Amino acid sequence: MAFLPSWTCVIVGCLSASLAVTSNLSDLYPPLWEEGPSQFSDYRMKDGQYIINAWVYPERMGMYKILLTQTARYFERFAPENEQNTLWRLPLQHGWQCSTLFFITIVFQYIQGTQYNNKKCPLTFSSACGLNYFLCVLPFLAVVDSGVMGISSHQVTLLSPPRDQYLFCFNVSTCRSSFLETMNKWNAFYQHLKLPSSTFEDLLKYLWAAHTSVLTDTLKTFESRIKLKNCFMKRGQKFKEGKRDEIFGYCASDFPTTLIRTHDFQKGLSPWMLVTGDTAPFISDFTDFGNKIL
Ligand SMILES: *[C@@H]1O[C@H](CO)[C@@H](O)[C@H](O)[C@H]1NC(C)=O
Ligand SMILES: *[C@@H]1O[C@H](CO)[C@@H](O)[C@H](O)[C@H]1NC(C)=O
């Protein structure tokens, strides 16, 4: 996959210039952050396992909330209120996709037949996009596996979508067998998280190794099995071939993905897929900051 390393310095430059003055960090949380589950016991339990439906937005946000809450203690030494938790990028990106109508998935059919009822965030079905699923589920199952959560790796089961189950994995052991390298990289991140000697830069390094591994590992799977372009739609049109790297350019930029920085960065991201003729910095329906980033 082609990454765009040159973005990184541009982006970091923009960010440094535009960090928000924030009085209350909770204003920066993703949409409906407060409404989802915030601990394992908020999920259903069956036969000693927590059953999570990652195909609906609140339950998926709940997974992120548990992840952020349970890792907060390791980031306390960097800043108060969990602000420096580098995992913020995961829920913020997901919330942004939802709230900006950026990702619409044609894999939408997955959701038909599942209990989908969320008027405030009508793009919940964007969660069905396969890549998004893994961006959430692999770090989540890896943290369970790492021992950070204090529960056994047998205790979490994700529900399968109504169709195309063969594309996905639903518990620690099956995700480990399909995506061993990525699960190991996430595990390495969590092990370093636990070490008091790890620096913030160390943690970023392990985080990015794990995160980019999810992208490359699962894109391989998905490109061979479904047409990824069908995961995206813009302004009523079909996703264009060749634009994918613009999205993943964001994912690949290794800037500190803390709460404030990620939030501010996302303000500059395109709320739409670009089309031919969109020329930054003159795209009329983007913010100034968005045009500048592009
Ligand atoms: C921040 O906002 C939340 C939710 O609106 C509120 O519960 C909390 O008390 C606020 N914190 C501060 C420090 O104002
Ligand atoms: C994980 O999923 C596989 C396949 O669905 C199943 O055979 C296995 O029993 C599950 N493991 C646990 C611990 O639930």
* pLDDT tens sequence across 160-217: 876 667 778 999 999 999 999 999 999 999 999 999 999 999 999 999 899 889 888 8
Residue 158 lies in a domain: yes
Q: What is the CB neighbour count within 10 angstroms for residue 291? A: 17
Q: Which ligand is nearest to the CA of 23?
A: 1
Regarding the beta carbon of 24 and ligand 1, being less than 6 Å apart is answered yes
Which is more confident, 55 or 59?
A: 59
User: Is residue 227 in a domain?
Assistant: yes
Answer whether residue 142 is part of any domain.
yes
If one compares 130 and 127, the residue with the highest pLDDT of the two is 130
* Residue 61 CA, ligand 2 centroid: distance in Å: 23
Q: Which of 98, 202, 206 is nearest to 143 (CA)?
A: 206
Q: Indicate the top mutation candidate among 137, 174, 175, 183 to test ligand 2's pocket, ranked by most ligand atoms within 8 A of CB.
A: 174
Alpha carbon nearest to ligand 1 atom 10, residue? 24
Is residue 81, in this structure, part of any structural domain at all? Answer: yes
Do residues 167 and 224 touch, judged by C-beta distance below 8 A?
no
Torsion of CA 66, 129, 28, 284, to 10 degrees: 180
Atom of ligand 2 at shortest distance to CA of 171? 1
**Does residue 55 form part of some domain?**
yes
For the CA of 25, the nearest atom of ligand 1? 1
Q: Ligand 1, residues 26, 28, 29, 82: which to mutate, most atoms within 8 A of Cβ?
A: 26
Domain presence at residue 33 = yes
Mean pLDDT over residues 67-73, rounded?
93
Structure tokens at 105: 């998935």
Which ligand does the CA of 172 lie closest to? 2
- 291 part of a folded domain: no
pLDDT of residue 178: 92
Indicate whether 293 belongs to any domain. Answer: no
Predicted TM-score of the model (pTM): 0.70
Structure tokens at 96: 């942004």
**Cβ atoms of 136 and 94 closer than 8 Å:** yes
pLDDT tens per residue across span 229-246? 333 333 333 333 333 333
CA-CA-CA-CA torsion sign (105, 176, 182, 62): positive
Domain coverage including residue 86: 29-267
Number of structural domains (the chain) is 1
